[in-house]
Amino acid sequence: MAHYDERLRGIEDRLGNDGPERTATPGRDAPRGGRPVSTWLWLAVGIVGLVSGIVIGHGLLIAAGLVVAGMAAQLLDPQRRTSRNSAPRLR
């Protein structure tokens, strides 16, 4: 059991040594690019459609606004790019 504790302590020491020099590496805190204008436009169209459907009382317009806003929100997901690149490709 002592061997296991030593391994954990070694890992803990290495993790505790992560200082400012590690956070200053490029790519870790790199500024993110802006979102495409078309994504924001689709989100605005979806929200306008949703609100106008609620005001008018038209169910189809409400549903369309929800779908469009949901699709645009999916495009704004910050983890979308990382999960797409790390997913295995099926052939």
User: pLDDT digit string (tens) for 24-81?
Assistant: 555 554 455 566 888 889 999 999 999 999 999 999 999 999 999 999 888 887 776 5
Tokens 């983890």 map to which residue?
A: 79
- The residue type of 16 is G
Kindly report whether the global pTM for this prediction surpasses the value 0.85. no
Helix 37-56 with 59-75: angle, nearest 10 deg? 160
